[in-house]
Structure 1
Amino acid sequence: MLKKLLSFIIVVCAMVYSSCSIRLDAASIPPGMKTINVEFFENTAPLVVSNLSQTFTEALKERIRSQSPLSIVRGEADAVIQGSITGFSYAPVSVQATNNNTAPLATATRLTITVSVKYTNNKDKKVSPDFEQSFSRYTDFTGDVNSQEQNLIRIINQQLTEDIFNKAFANW
């Protein structure tokens, strides 16, 4: 009898657990929202990488295309995302002493990118309210930056666009 009761409890718990799962990628797009204008993110950071504005803007558009039913348009739209790249910097995160009285060597470096974003919802502000916020992400690396820079930018752009998308559409 105890075995049957325990089996029943386990089955019920498993059913409750599976029915209560949460989708972390679920977007809360307002019902009437069909279009979004993603404006070009100008790079105003002191250190400028020539293609950063283009790659970031395209990464944000791709995130919206792949995770929402919204159509990306130019001009008037149900929502607008605009902003600029305000920070792009390298900084040492760990150093190693040298034996010959020279300056310490950086053994790991951190690339940080910061973007300032303004989101305006022209449809239903209760579901997806307007915001103006800075987002910053980084990744650490070792070795020569020149051979890794574009891949590091891609990684950080992926993180930043996820943060922006979640803030705008997933109520995070």
Structure 2
Amino acid sequence: MKNLKYLIVLLIATTFSSCGVYNFTGAKPVDAKTFQVNFFHNNADLIEPGIDRDFTLALQDLIMNQTNLNLVSNGGELVYEGEIVDYRITPMTATADQQAAQNRLTIRINVRFTNKKKEADDFEKVFEFYYDFAGTSLPTGSVLNEAIKTIYERITQDIFNESLAKW
């Protein structure tokens, strides 16, 4: 009976302990306590007003929601900066009368990540994603909002994975 108690205690201890490498979001622990996201300027040839602000805020929100890091405006231990380098709408498929049946909005963002605690983690990389919409729709209003939301969700998660989750 006494051995059974030890076995149960050992089983419970190993079940609820972990190596501490990952948390529920998949982020590896970092020594940093703060992060900063500098404004991502829109340097694309085609300018859509406000997408630079929206991306900057989306990246800040994702990191705040998936880590316990504190957002600071300067002096952050983890620094994200860069620029929107491409905003493009291209026809993907055509109808018999040479009309676009489907269009694609593509956004490319160049990101520079600096980890002041571990310089080996620093990188500069371009992240890109797209959203397809009907050729009869214009990339305005709700179509544009949904496209940008979808694209930014994917790009910000990719940046998070590259910088903090190391996937």
TM interval, short-chain normalised: 0.7 to 0.9
Aligned length: 144
Please name the residue that 1:84 is paired with.
83
Instruction: For residue 144 of structure 1, report the CA deviation from its aligned partner.
Output: 2.5
Instruction: For residue 146 of structure 1, report the CA deviation from its aligned partner.
Output: 1.7
Please name the residue that 1:106 is paired with.
100
Instruction: For residue 154 of structure 1, report the CA deviation from its aligned partner.
Output: 1.0
Please name the residue that 1:130 is paired with.
122
Normalising by structure 2, what TM-score? 0.81
Separation in 1, partners of 2:24, 2:73? 29
Separation in 2, partners of 1:68, 1:24? 10
Asked if 1:152 is matched to 2:147, the reply is: yes
Please name the residue that 1:121 is paired with.
115
Separation in 2, partners of 1:86, 1:164? 15
Task: Give CA deviations for 1:61-88 in whole Å, capped at 9, x if unaligned.
Answer: 0000100111110111111110000000
Percent of paired sites with the same residue: 33
Instruction: For residue 52 of structure 1, report the CA deviation from its aligned partner.
Output: 0.3
Pick the aligned partner of 1:169 from 149, 164, 167: 164
Unaligned runs of 5+ in 2: 1-21
Task: Give CA deviations for 1:133-152 in whole Å, capped at 9, x if unaligned.
Answer: 00110010112222311221
SS of 1:29's equivalent? coil
SS of 2:68's equivalent? coil
Paired residue type of 2:147: L
Instruction: For residue 24 of structure 1, report the CA deviation from its aligned partner.
Output: 8.0
Unaligned runs of 5+ in 1: 1-21, 99-103
Separation in 2, partners of 1:29, 1:51? 33
